[in-house]
Amino acid sequence: MVICYANQKGGVGKTTTAVNLAVCLTRSGDRVLAVDCDPQATMTRQLGIDPRDVGISLVDVLAGRTAASTALIGDVASGVDVIAAARELSGVEMALVAELGRERFLADALAPLTDRYPMIVLDTPPNLGLLTVNALVSADIILAPVSCEDEASVQGVVELRGTLAKLCRLRDSEPDLLTSLTRWARSRVMSHSQSRRPTDVSHLRTSGSPTG
């Protein structure tokens, strides 16, 4: 199963939540693969890796220079392997624009690894560019963090849902879209208001997909 964290609004705790989920999923006894699709390489750094020290990264995979299996960095956390990001991903994203099937490069690259890793967690840039689109096309479940401190993150989910509807032609079915509340701080004005009257985000979910 491929789980993608996405929200075009930055600062909603997306990467931190993705890293924590990857670590928690190892409790089942299976290895988990974390894939950093963000040129900022925040997931890579949070897993203790300096992007400057990475020899082979997602850049090489998407550029077609190597298979995803050769980009694996093992045991960065207990039971978690990673395909790291690098700032050069931005250049790869621009290069993909001219390619046929550009939305499926990541899905095709990860396909040989799905038997090896029952759970794959993708982190994405805070936008709806081609790197994020590749992650969305690859995903079985999409988790969209919504910050209690920033109403703009809710609008980000609305726009994400619209993007998913457009991507249906590239996949057999639309993935489940789930929302999760992050960055909850009672001392903050918006969080305090949220605790008294939660914002209704039920209209954001895709058909048959609960929010959580």
Domain that holds residue 148: 2-204
Q: Which is nearest to 39 in space by CA: 50, 27, 51?
A: 51
209: in domain: no
Which segments of the chain have a pLDDT < 70? 149-150, 152-153, 183-212
Residue 125 maps to a domain? yes
Is residue 210 a part of any domain in this protein? Answer: no
Enclosing H/E stretch for 141: strand 141-147
> Is 29 a member of any domain?
yes
**Contact yes or no for 38/87 (Cβ under 8 A):** no
Residues contacting residue 8 through CB under 8 Å, at least 6 positions apart: 126, 127, 128, 132, 156, 159, 160
Is residue 66 in some structural domain?
Answer: yes
Q: Which residue is it, tokens 């790197």?
A: 131
Proportion of the chain above pLDDT 70, given as a percent: 83
Domain CATH code at residue 183: 3.40.50.300
Q: To the nearest 10°, the Cα dihedral for 124, 23, 110, 145?
A: -30
**Is-contact 159 126, C-beta < 8 A?**
no
Q: Are 134 and 93 in contact (CB under 8 A)?
A: no
Domain assignment of residue 211, yes or no: no
Tally of domains in the chain:
1
- The predicted pLDDT at position 184 comes to 56
CB atoms within 10 A of CB 55: 9
Classify residue 159: in a domain, yes or no: yes
Confidence at residue 85, expressed as pLDDT on a 0 to 100 scale: 98
pLDDT score recorded for residue 183: 57
The reported pTM is 0.82
Predicted pLDDT at 204: 41
